[in-house]
């Protein structure tokens, strides 16, 4: 019995190492970006209805609304010289409610390609209304909702 337990332990350790090495490498090289659930607040028309993830480098946030039948997410770049204040609607993908999740650079979920079909209840952002300040994002949507995120 002890030999079997030792074999299972060694096998689990080997699997852990085989998974940890590529995840660590891809994170260190910037191929994978980790998103962490923030303690921030998301309100839609003044009512708390959503959650917020920040990336590891704190240069972008994913704002997820939960006031509609299907959750909807928006990716907002909050720092960086070139694209600060840029926003992408995530179409039919929304951020999971996990405390942390990775997004790789090969097939990111929020591409913002205009040819992607929108879900039936899509509420695209009005980009001209986007306001970004430290710890704050606010914008209006095509359906006239005001989305506010603070952290």
As a whole number, mean pLDDT of residues 59-64 equals: 95
Name, in order, each residue with C-beta under 8 angstroms of 94's C-beta and a sequence gap of 6 or more.
Answer: 64, 70, 71, 72, 73
Strand ranges across the sheet with 100-104: 87-89, 72-77, 60-65, 50-55, 32-37, 100-104
Residues 140, 80, single domain; the answer is: yes
pTM, two decimals, is 0.81
Residues 3, 63, single domain; the answer is: no
Residues 70, 139, single domain; the answer is: yes
As a whole number, mean pLDDT of residues 61-89 equals: 88
Residues 144, 78, single domain; the answer is: yes
Residues 77, 61, single domain; the answer is: yes
What the block records as the tokens of 110 is: 């929020």
Residues 13, 47, single domain; the answer is: no
Domain that holds residue 16: 1-30
Average pLDDT, the chain: 87
Residues 14, 64, single domain; the answer is: no
According to the model, what pLDDT value does residue 121 have? 82
User: CA–CA separation, 24 vs 70, rounded Å?
Assistant: 33
According to the model, what pLDDT value does residue 82 have? 61
According to the model, what pLDDT value does residue 113 have? 61
Longest dimension (CA), the chain: 67
Q: Are strands 87-89 and 72-77 parallel, antiparallel or unpaired?
A: antiparallel
Burial class (CB in 10 A: 0-12, 13-18, 19+), 68: middle
Residues 15, 64, single domain; the answer is: no
Count of domains forming the chain: 2
Residues 90, 66, single domain; the answer is: yes
User: CA–CA separation, 151 vs 144, rounded Å?
Assistant: 23
Residues 2, 64, single domain; the answer is: no
Residues 64, 100, single domain; the answer is: yes
Residues 73, 136, single domain; the answer is: yes
């Amino acid at each position: 019995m002890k030999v079997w337990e030792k074999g299972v332990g060694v096998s689990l350790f080997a699997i852990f190492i085989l998974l940890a090495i590529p995840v660590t490498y891809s994170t260190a090289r910037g191929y994978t970006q980790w998103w962490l659930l923030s303690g921030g607040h998301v309100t839609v028309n003044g009512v708390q209805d959503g959650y917020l993830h920040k990336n590891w480098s704190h240069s972008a946030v994913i704002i997820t609304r939960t006031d509609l039948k299907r959750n909807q997410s928006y990716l907002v770049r909050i720092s960086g010289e070139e694209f600060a204040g840029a926003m992408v609607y995530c179409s039919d993908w929304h951020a999971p409610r996990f405390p942390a999740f990775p997004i790789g650079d090969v097939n990111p979920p929020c591409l913002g390609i205009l040819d992607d079909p929108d879900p039936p209840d899509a509420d695209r952002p009005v980009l001209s209304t986007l306001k970004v300040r430290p710890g704050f994002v606010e914008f209006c949507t095509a359906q006239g909702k005001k989305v506010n995120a603070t952290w």
